[in-house]
Structure 1
Amino acid sequence: MDAKNPLAAIRQYIDAFNKGDVKNMGATFAEDAAILDGMAPHLWLGSTATQDWYRDVLIEGEHHGASGYFVTLGEPLHNVTTDDAAYVVVPTTMTFNVKGRQVTQTGAKFIVALRKVTDGWRIAAWAWAKGTAA
């Protein structure tokens, strides 16, 4: 893992998400991490939070005919690091397909709290504030 700064850890997570690489998504997470999302059950906790959340994304997507998720990160709105803790808010754009039609969601925010451990930064928690779809 090459997460030498908080933003690098976030980019690694999003790159893994875009590739559907659940193993590398999990590698960016702290053991006691949390995910807060608008999709039920809304909260995922612990060492398998990212894997459990991703599984639920795919199930929800199948239910709605959605697939092909791809997130693009903008420039951070907040990027604050204090010792071994960081808080980053990044505007995002997500594209995906719904029943064969491409949808672009703009104006979303990816809010991430991170902590530094001996071998780099790990995501301690993240939340997604949904944008508008067109």
Structure 2
Amino acid sequence: MIPSPSLLRGRCIMKALSIFVAFAALLIAPMASARDAGIATTIRAMADGFNKGDIAAVKALHVVDPTIVDNVAPFVWSGGGSFDKWLGDLGKSEAAAGKSDGQVWFGDSVDEQVSGDQAYVVAPCRYTYKQGGKTMREEGFIALVMVRVGAAWKIASWSWASPAGVAAK
């Protein structure tokens, strides 16, 4: 018996759908497995440390001399003592601008590329602070380059990108 045209069409559609699902699974599986929980843990710990004022803990999440790019003059720090120099310049800038009570937030990564013991990560970020009696907010992105040191991920470099703060609503 010869199958009807509608039955053949149904089989073709089912076969095409099966191929599509299998292809989609091949594409999605590497993306899902590319996420490394240790990377997110380090980034969350960085925000938690800042928000608690535990700068020693934040510094410990970095390699010895990270490269930092931030929207505070002189905008880039690298080499010997870079973290401490950035922290000092940030403190001076914040005091001069009358900023206080800063809190950072990093969202889930929107791009995470891992190659062996190195990673490039981009995540949304937000900095909320008080200035002139108002709560202000900067929203943007942070890009981090990370390296695996033993079982942990350390921050080798990061760059903050956000427009100037606006009054929080």
Q: TM-score, normalised by structure 1?
A: 0.88
1:49, distance to aligned residue in structure 2 (A): 2.4
1:69, distance to aligned residue in structure 2 (A): 1.0
Cα separation, partners in 2 of 1:21 and 1:100, compared to 1, 3 Å: same
| Structure 1 unaligned blocks of 5 or more | none
Larger Rg: 2
Q: Which one has a larger percent helix, Structure 1 or Structure 2?
A: 2
1:29 pairs with 2:59: no
Cα separation, partners in 2 of 1:48 and 1:25, compared to 1, 3 Å: farther
Distance 2:128 2:78 in 1: 26
1:94 pairs with 2:127: yes
1:119, distance to aligned residue in structure 2 (A): 4.2
Cα separation, partners in 2 of 1:29 and 1:38, compared to 1, 3 Å: same
Distance 1:99 1:31 in 2: 36
1:68 pairs with 2:101: yes
Could you say what the CA RMSD is over the residues aligned between the two structures, in angstroms? 1.6
Distance 1:68 1:39 in 2: 17
1:111 pairs with 2:134: no
| Structure 2 unaligned blocks of 5 or more | 1-36
1:102 counterpart letter in structure 2: T
Percent of pairs with identical residues: 28
Most deviating of 71-80 and 120-129: 71-80
Cα separation, partners in 2 of 1:96 and 1:64, compared to 1, 3 Å: same
* Equivalent position to 1:20, from 53, 56, 60: 53
Superposed structure 1 runs of 4+ greater than 6 Å apart: none
Distance 1:132 1:56 in 2: 17
The alignment of Structure 1 onto Structure 2 pairs a total of residues equal to: 130
Q: TM-score, normalised by structure 2?
A: 0.71
1:109 counterpart letter in structure 2: F
Cα separation, partners in 2 of 1:14 and 1:84, compared to 1, 3 Å: same
1:51 paired residue number: 84
